[in-house]
Amino acid sequence: MKMIRVIIPAFNEEKSISKVIGDIPPHVTEIIVVDNNSTDHTNKVAANAGATVLSESKSGYGNACLKGLSYLKTLDQKTDIVVFLDGDYSDYPEEIDKILAPIINDHIDFVIGARVKSKRESGSMTFPQVFGNWLATSLMRVFFTSKFTDLGPFRAIKYKKLLNLKMEDKTYGWTVEMQLKALKQSLSYAEVEVRYRNRIGQSKVSGTVKGAIMAGIKILGWIFKYTFK
């Protein structure tokens, strides 16, 4: 039986985090919520819902994910697959098995949940998100002959392969860094279509002009860094 752990970065998600945790299939080994400097009761709600709760005081999506990975390294019990999932209930946690299937059944290394238009709720992705995804994945196709169509945060990867990527981005570039490094290391990868809905609360990235601009700069920076590396 595969040991599967889910890492959920969370910042002020007290209204959604219990729903996310509650919809994760029971066969998942452990649910890890990384409270990224929340000013509400995210940590208490997550703990009451049955998650392992970690605290990361340094702001940034990547910092929260790195905290989760640091925790995995301390465990005596092995981890086979790591799933990353947002804490705002925009993803459908019950679709984890769809994300895991190519890894478990077909020995794929890395799987992205692709938020295709036909499965997206109206308004669930802003124009900057849609355009940013299109631009980033188009550039990856040109420079790396990639087949990625999305930078979706709902994803799964073999734990040992993830460690080999030596992830380092601390903020907005975490997802694209993982995909670029997977391409550079010739990992096998796949995308599966997933549903996507309007999040609970305001987005910390696409919901603000500053967040959208900074995310775009970071994503393009990673792409050009690896293009000429």
CA distance 91 to 194: 8
Q: Do 194 and 81 form a contact (C-beta atoms < 8 A)?
A: no
> What digits encode the pLDDT tens for the residues 129-158?
888 888 889 988 988 999 999 999 999 999
Contacts of 224 (CB under 8 A, 6+ apart): none
One-letter identity of residue 152: G
pLDDT at 206 over 50: no
Beta-carbon neighbour count of residue 60 at 10 Å?
20
- pLDDT, tens digit (0-9, with 9 covering 90-100), for 100-134: 999 999 999 999 999 999 999 999 998 888 888 88
* CA pair distance 47, 35, nearest whole angstrom: 11
* pLDDT attached to residue 207: 46
Cα–Cα distance for residue pair 125/29, rounded to 1 Å: 30
**Is residue 209 predicted with pLDDT exceeding 60?**
no
Residue 213 has what pLDDT?
A: 62
Q: How confident is the model at residue 227 (pLDDT cuts 50, 70, 90)?
A: low
3-state secondary structure 77-143: CCCCEEEECCCCCCCCHHHHHHHHHHHHHHCCCEEEEECCHHHECCCCCCHHHHHHHHHHHHHHHHH
Query: pLDDT tens digits for 42-82?
Result: 999 999 999 999 999 999 999 999 999 999 999 999 999 99
- Closest-CA residue to 88 (of 212, 215, 210, 203): 203
Mean pLDDT over residues 32-43, rounded?
A: 97
Query: Do residues 139 and 149 lie in contact, with contact meaning Cβ atoms separated by under 8 Å?
Result: no
Is residue 219 within 8 Å of 132, Cβ to Cβ? Answer: yes
